[in-house]
Amino acid sequence: MQDIAHYMRAGTLQLAALPPLSLYVHLPWCIRKCPYCDFNSHEAAGGVPEQRYLDALVADLDAALPLVWGRQVHSIFIGGGTPSLFSPEGIDRLIGDIRARLKLEPDCEITLEANPGTFERDRFRAFRGAGVTRLSLGVQSFNDDHLKALGRVHDRAQALAAVEEAASAFDTFNLDLMYALPGQTLQQLDADLGQALAMSPPHLSVYHLTLEPNTYFAKYPPPLPDDDTAYAMLDRITEATAAAGLRRYEVSAYARDGHRCWHNLNYWQFGDYLGIGAGAHGKLSFAHRVVRQVRFREPRLYMDNALAGNAVAQEDEVGRADLPFEFMLGALRLKEGFEIASFLERTGLPLNAIARGLDEAQARGLIERDGAWVRPTDRGLDFLSDLQSVFLPA
């Protein structure tokens, strides 16, 4: 870890204020690796080394504290892997150790990812007792055939029981679904959506299944719905969620008023986040620069290095030429878009850094401008990659 003076030295940027700060904690183990998953997750064949990994997380956080000293943390996201494999006592210890070291906002959102396959009665309630305020439940489908095709370790009955328990234990929670699944029809999607919405989740994330490189599905592609069917599915999702009172606020996220995920919003708005844990990414702003960090990826290597006070495997300063694209990558995912003032504040760059891209995107019908706001059009959201690529550095 570099001395704090290294980050505070003069540079090409001039940030008038630092953005909100979040904390991401990666717990990398799962019961079984899903064939579509390209996350840094590892099967917990011999069990999870819970205490040693928690020790490593604390050592990692201790080493990083000088970089965020005095800043308040607005949200914490404990992701994986399957974090609910950790015991409620372990999560209680983790949150307690974080609270002892960082200044948390009084209403700090603390999300834990969980899977129905790790569900036991009262386990979610115990996570709530440990300090978790929001559960994100990876259901993916309520169809047993599709769950099997996705390699999930739970079935429909477990998914239903887990959602019911989450709803009773938490004031707010997220339900994750996927669509365009192997062999999925519009009718089957309707059944999944109908079941999900019948359980009144305050937040619903619906992701298009994509074949990511270096996954089992990339090597052995399953038969997926064609593009026209996938677009029709997205239309159904948009209509059904709106009818149920869930507002689309991001490409894949729908929420009731007051239940948007603050942590993810901070990502998309180019906020700061300290990432700890195996393979965790972080983005931190200083007066004259923006820095990205990556922790060691393999869990054992991460633990060894973190306990030795050196968890960071790679660190890079984001160049001026890359900042517009980095900002737009998240901001254009948001249905409400962004304020021009936010771009200036978060990147330290003048408006002319994106003026040409904005003109091109508007001419192609991908964005609309309303005074100080820039918003993606419906077409822009549907063709998000095309919109984002307009801002790639030359």
d(CA 102, CA 105) in angstroms, rounded, equals: 10
Task: Indicate the number of domains in the chain.
Answer: 2
pLDDT in tens, 6-63: 898 999 899 989 999 999 999 999 887 787 777 778 877 778 999 999 999 999 999 9
Count of Cβ atoms closer than 10 Å to residue 53 Cβ: 23
Residue 343 and residue 198 share a domain: no
pLDDT in tens, 306-324: 999 999 999 999 999 999 9
310 within a domain of the structure (yes/no): no
- Higher pLDDT among residues 178 and 214, named by residue: 178
pLDDT in tens, 342-352: 999 999 999 99
- Give pLDDT, residue 3: 78
What amino acid occupies position 28? Answer: P
Q: What is the CATH number of the domain that holds 375?
A: 1.10.10
Domain boundary at 238, 266, 294, which?
266
d(CA 214, CA 38) in angstroms, rounded, equals: 7
d(CA 153, CA 35) in angstroms, rounded, equals: 12
296 within a domain of the structure (yes/no): no
Residue 140 and residue 13 share a domain: yes
Phi/psi at 263 (5° precision): -60, -50
272 within a domain of the structure (yes/no): no
Residue 334 and residue 243 share a domain: no
pLDDT band for position 92 (cuts 50, 70, 90): very high
pTM, two decimals, is 0.95
75 within a domain of the structure (yes/no): yes
351-359: Cβ within 8 A, 24+ apart: 353/323, 353/324, 354/324, 354/328, 354/391, 357/324, 357/328, 357/390, 357/391
Residue 20 and residue 118 share a domain: yes
Report cis status (omega within 30 of 0) of the bond before 271: no
**For residue 386, what are the domain limits?**
324-394
- Give pLDDT, residue 293: 98
298 within a domain of the structure (yes/no): no
What share of the chain in percent tops pLDDT 70? 99
- Give pLDDT, residue 119: 66
304 within a domain of the structure (yes/no): no
Q: What is the CATH number of the domain that holds 97?
A: 3.20.20.70
53 within a domain of the structure (yes/no): yes
d(CA 92, CA 82) in angstroms, rounded, equals: 16
230 within a domain of the structure (yes/no): yes
Residue 260 and residue 329 share a domain: no
